Structure 1
Amino acid sequence: MGIRKYGFTRGLTCLIFVFILCGCASTKGIADKSGELSSEDRRKFDYFYLEAERLKAIGENDAAFDLMSRAADLDTTSAAARFFLAPYYLRMGFYEQARKDLRYAAEKYPDNYWYNVVYANFSQQSNRHDEAIRIWTRLLEQNPDKPEINSALAEAYTAKGDMKQAIACYDRMESSMGMMEPITIEKLKLYEYMGDKEAMVAVAEKLQRTFPRNTDYMRLLGDIYLEAGNDSAALSIYNKALDLEPENGYIYLSRAGYYEKRGDTIAYNNEIRNALMNRRIDVDTKLSIFSTYIVGLMKKKQELNRVDSLFTEMLEQYPQEEPVHRLFGMYLSSRKDFSRAEEQYAIAADLAPTNPENWLQLIGLYLYQEKYAEVIRVGKRAIQYVPDQKDIYMYVAVASAQTKSYDEALSMLETGLNYVEENDAGTKSFFYGQMGDVYHSAGDKEKSYEMYEKALSYNASNIPVLNNYSYFLAMEGQDLDKAERMSAQTVKAEPDNATYLDTYAWIFFKQGNYSLARIYLQNALDKTKEPSAELFEHYGDILFMLGEVDEAVTYWQKALEAGSESAELLQKKIKNKKYIEK
């Protein structure tokens, strides 16, 4: 089930000592004097040590480290000096040296609370769980009245996987401090991990008896009853909680879980609505509830009309909450109700214009529907609020290229490149590849090939670039060996991609290898359910070169019927029963 939110203090944060190594390195006094030093060396040691402490206090860490290192060289037995140096070694990445120094201090002075706490925490963070347990146990024996040590010991046992010992630690805390929310929740998590539902029930019942009018604890107990299979007890405790606090929306949510388990769809839907309409539940929690509810209904493909009405009620309650409009937009998009989805994303973008997600979703919808003018209009507006979003520049560039605004497309791509991370070679390759496509569409083939080369310099396996580059070379009859090598990479990467197979076949056609061209073009036709006019035309051209003139005419006719852009040329081919080069 997972221990859900019940409005409690999360974990035992308020009970646990969190010792940041660098902040606890002071020994709060003069260093130990256990070493056999001459009076002169002792005087130097004391000076270096105290001066290092002073420099550290004013933030002169490099000088402090240097002086304390000199002190430690004078007295190699000084636990205080080694304890001081440990966090510096840790910052420099010398973890083993730091560990040795901390362990030395803790073992030399086993009754020094600070030395041992820092070493135990270090051991725990380093996944040395047995060592952490050993030190925490020693500290607990010396300080049985400190519950934070029991808490830390419990965490060490949990990290090691010894849940029973961890629970024993929490039991000791409970005995000394009384029953407390954080302790109980931690115990429940452990019992849940162990799969001990009986123990979970016992703990939750004890908590509820101790605080009989706390509805959060009642709801927790009900959820655990439900998980343990005691459904009637779960419903009974939920109802008691609602009698005490009828406006508590979280109880409706829990009771919805009961009805869902029972298969009572009507009652489940009613409880969800009660939770969503309850003003005591914060909007983020409601959206989480709603998202789960929507996904469940969509999986079952049932009662989706309820979702629209619930959204209407939610929007009446939260007309200015951007996440509500965004969620509605996502839902409508998933149902392909694009016009209403656009409306919701537009509202969300107006409410939170610096949130790029809404702009990206809205622009993506327009692009999907090929509403290029809207992509450009909204994209330019979005850039005013989120100028660092490289994807928006890309979308606007694609739309501009589609409307033959090539200069604007290139400008967008060049600007968007400024927001690509320096080490993001893949995205840089993508941008340069798009620039290559735009230059080619604009008729600047030389600049196009320059951009393709640049794209491949960032990512030599950029498959779309390899395909487009090789295809354009083939169409122009240039550098066919290079085109064949590049196209072979695309076919190897995606052997079922009809577009890449067509490119490969066309290169063989240009090389005069018609039999091999036929094999790959036939494969391309087999791989696609709705072959394009270009595929039909290319296959006809290949068949003609192989002497199968009537079959060639048949495929040219199919290309014409499929809406080929070269209709005039195809008509000449069909009429003359002859291949004519473009």
Structure 2
Amino acid sequence: MSNYKFPILFLIVFVLGISNIFAQTVKGDVNRPVLSLDDQRKFDYYFYNAMNSKSIEKYGATYDFLQYCMKIDSTNASVLFELGNFFNSIQNKDQAYAYYQRAVGYDSDNFYYNMALASALAERQDYKDAASVYQKLINQNPLKIELYMYLSEVYRLDGDLLNSIQALNDLERTMGMNEKITIQKFKLYSALNDKKKAYAEVQKYIDKYPDDIRYYILLANLYLQEGKNKEAYASLSKAKSIDPEDPYLITSMANYYQTVGDQPKAEAELRAALFSSKTDIDTKIGILSQYIGILQQGQQDLEPAYLLLDSLMVEHPQEAKFNLLYGNLLMLQDRKKEANFQYRVYAESDPTNPVGWEQLLQSTDVDSIDALIDVCKSAIVYLPEEPLFYFYLSVGQYQKKEFKEALKTLEDGIVFAQDNPRLLSEFYGQKGSIYYELKQQDSAFVEFDQSLKYNPQNLGVLNNYSYYLSLAHKDLDRAENMSSITIKAEPTNPTYLDTYGWILFMQGAYTTAKIYLENAVKYSEEKEKEISAEVLEHYGDVLYMMDDKENAVIYWERAKEKGSESKTLDQKIKTKTFIAPNSLK
């Protein structure tokens, strides 16, 4: 996801400030203008403010200051790079690429500019050009191991598998043997149909660690994937001679028999361990869990796992851990209703264990508020000091608009959350939302402040708090700062984009606001397939301010069709004029 992707760069730029500019000037690029002393001072001032705004995550101001810099010197690589980062953060990949390309053009040896350009080239599927950039960086920085991985990957994506392997070979010479590299080389050799070299990659680990069962099992599983069943069996037999009771070996043997079509032997292999009196319950659950994982990975039918679980539940009727595993298996197939039953059996068999109640919550239909409330109330009876259930009970009550009851539930539960800062943050955030619904704005803001003390990165609270501040025309700079954190974390979230764009709108930064509100519309339609009336109205507002009045009215009308509750919308449509909101929504 593409918020600002370069945290290392950010620290360097922030610490060095405008020194990048001066360093660039010293290079004496022939195509760059020589600034007058006055222009240089203005440029330095604007760039410093741009970086300062970026450091406090005020991206709207960052963009505006960078634009001032561009008017003074449109050839400065530092400015071009930062503009590339900005457009990359809002998913405008074409613009980002154009700026990165220009930045490298004016400062061809800068590591971070080249990294950004290579990433942009790869996203554009210009793999050969991306490979050239990565190779240049490797020549300059031979000890940076991530460069070899990037180079190998772009070669692979371009279909140049030999060079992809060569990049990994170069990496191995730099960092030594590594299992992940070996697996990747095995896949590449297999794609080239060079099986001998593919298996030799794994064999070198067996040669080096002959008593490590993992590599024999790994080799066997790779043989199975290639249909080399005899070789797979030989490798598994060798593993069995080392440790016949290894749970992963047992599941791999079962997988082998299932692959060769011998289901009875597959089940016999598992049953020997699962129904042995020497095998404890937790080990049985571990074996079966691994077997389910193998079936999943191979996209095989899960029916054999269901049959084994049924037998185990008959064998151990009082052992509700199998109900929990059964519920987990059902959840893998999105069979929530059936899973919910199994979780309830587990929860009621061991009611002081929070796991069962938590799984019950997870499998409860999101539209069934009453069921959610019922689970939470039952859990609180047995676990009166578990704060999570108070929190979700308040969520259910909030959804039913039982605000006073929800507030009391939070007050009852918050005393048990004192050693969990993140959960405390959720409690205070939920209290803030309730107070806001009760028209107690000042109390709401106090609770939001308290929430952010415990978790400054609580995105839901940051979004709601900043939006409510904008509606109240209060602390817009702080609102922008809070909202910018949310879009940095989730740059394609339509709700967060709408909030940030609206705050910029309220600040009068219409050009930048339009970028974010336009993306809010775009991602609402792409991701959610449903767009809110609020997003449409806000976009209409910014279009009006950008002197696109005809389209502004179109979006206002679309907002009305969506059932907007805006108190000014009808008047805006009727008069074809923007009317500022004059009351809380």
* 1:350 positional shift: 0.8
- The structure-2 alpha-carbon separation of the partners of 1:298 and 1:232, relative to structure 1 and needing over 3 Å to count, comes to closer
Percent identity of equivalent pairs: 35
Q: Which letter does structure 2 place at the counterpart of 1:536?
A: L
> What is residue 347 of structure 2 aligned with on the other side?
349
Please report how far the alpha carbon of residue 501 of structure 1 lies from its aligned counterpart in structure 2 after TM superposition. 2.1
Q: 471, 495, 514: which is aligned to 1:499?
A: 495
Distance 1:509 1:350, change over 3 A: same
Question: Aligned partners of 1:234, 1:509: CA distance in 2, in Å?
Answer: 66
Cα distance between partner residues in 2 of 1:486 and 1:199: 52
User: Compared with structure 1, are the counterparts of its residues 579 and 270 closer, same or farther at alpha carbon in structure 2 (3 Å cutoff)?
Assistant: same
Q: Does 1:315 align with 2:313?
A: yes
Out of 457, 468, 471, the position equivalent to 2:453 is 457
Quote the residue 1:300 is aligned against. 298
Give CA deviations for 1:264-316 in whole Å, capped at 9, x if unaligned. Answer: 24335422553476252433222111111111112222212333333333322
Report the Cα distance in structure 2 between the residues aligned to 1:476 and 1:535, rounded to whole angstroms.
Answer: 18
Aligned partner (choices 388, 391, 395) of residue 391 of structure 1: 388
2:404 pairs with 1:407: yes
- State the partner residue of 2:463: 467
For the 8 Å contact 1:473–1:479, the answer to whether it is kept is yes
Contact 1:255/1:271 (8 A) holds in 2? no
CA contact (8 A) 1:252 1:271 kept: no
Residue 362 (structure 1) shift: 0.5
Q: Partner residue of 1:150? A: none
* Structure 1: stretches of 5+ with no match in the other structure: 1-190, 201-224, 242-249
8 Å CA contact 2:213–2:239 kept in 1: the answer is: no
- Secondary structure, in 3 states, of the residue corresponding to 2:284? helix
- Between the aligned partners of 2:368 and 2:486, the Cα distance in structure 1 is 30
1:260 & 1:266 partners in 2: Cα distance?
A: 10
Aligned length: 355
Distance 1:269 1:360 in 2: 34
Question: Following TM superposition, by how much is the alpha carbon of 1:256 offset from its aligned partner in structure 2, in angstroms?
Answer: 6.1
- Tell me the TM-score normalised to structure 1 length: 0.54
SS in 2 for 1:433: helix
Distance 2:506 2:212 in 1: 76
Please, what TM-score do these two structures have when normalized by structure 2?
0.54
The within-5 A match list for 1:227-266 is 229=234, 257-258=252-253, 260-261=255-256, 263-266=259-262
1:194 Cα offset (Å): 6.5
Summarize deviations over 1:398-435 as a string: whole Å, max 9, x none.
1111111112222222222211244x433322321221
Kept after mapping to 2: 8 A contact 1:429/1:454: yes
Q: Which residue of 2 aligns with 1:541?
A: 541
Contact kept? 2:256, 2:266, Cα under 8 Å:
no
Higher relative contact order structure (alpha carbons within 8 Å, sequence separation ≥ 6): 2
For the pair shown, the structure with the greater C-alpha radius of gyration is: 1
Change beyond 3 A, Cα 1:517–1:377: same
Structure 1, residues 103-147: CA drift from partner, whole Å, max 9, x if none? Answer: xxxxxxxxxxxxxxxxxxxxxxxxxxxxxxxxxxxxxxxxxxxxx
3-state SS of the aligned residue for 1:477? coil
Q: Is the 8 A contact 2:251 2:287 kept in 1?
A: no
CA separation of 1:547/1:353 partners in 2, compared to 1, >3 Å: closer, same or farther? same
Note if contact 1:534-1:564 (Cα within 8 Å) is conserved in structure 2. no
**Aligned AA (2:382):** Y
SS of structure 2 residue aligned to 1:566: coil
1:559 matched to which residue of 2? 559
Residues 506 and 278 (structure 1), Cα distance of their counterparts in 2 relative to 1, 3 Å cut: same
Decide whether aligned partners of structure 1 residues 346 and 193 sit closer, same or farther in structure 2, where only a CA change above 3 A counts. Answer: farther
Match runs of 1:140-539 below 5 Å: 195-197=209-211, 229=234, 257-258=252-253, 260-261=255-256, 263-267=259-263, 269-272=266-269, 274-275=271-272, 278=275, 280=277, 281-366=279-364, 369-422=366-419, 424-528=420-524, 529=526, 530=528, 531-539=531-539
Which has the larger displacement, 427-436 or 375-384?
427-436
Cα deviations by residue, 1:66-121 (Å, 9 ceiling, x for unpaired) = xxxxxxxxxxxxxxxxxxxxxxxxxxxxxxxxxxxxxxxxxxxxxxxxxxxxxxxx
Report Cα offsets for 1:178-220 as digits up to 9, x if no partner: xxxxxxxxxxxxx9997234999xxxxxxxxxxxxxxxxxxxx
* Residue 497 to residue 259, structure 1, CA distance change in 2 (3 Å): closer
Which letter does structure 2 place at the counterpart of 1:314? L
Structure 1 residues 229, 569: CA separation in 2 closer, same or farther (over 3 Å shift)?
same
- Structure 2 CA distance for partners of 1:576 and 1:336, relative to 1, 3 Å: farther
In structure 2, C-alpha distance between the alignment counterparts of 1:198 and 1:471, rounded to whole Å? 57
Task: Tell me if structure 2 keeps the 8 A contact 1:276–1:286.
Answer: yes
Distance change >3 Å, CA 194–CA 573, structure 1 → 2: same
| Residues 349-380 of structure 1, C-alpha deviations (whole Å, 9 max, x = no match) | 111101100101101322x6232111111101
Rounded Cα–Cα distance in structure 2 between residues aligned with 1:440 and 1:477: 15
- C-alpha distance in 2, partners of 1:252/1:466? 46
Provide the residue aligned with 1:49 in structure 2: none
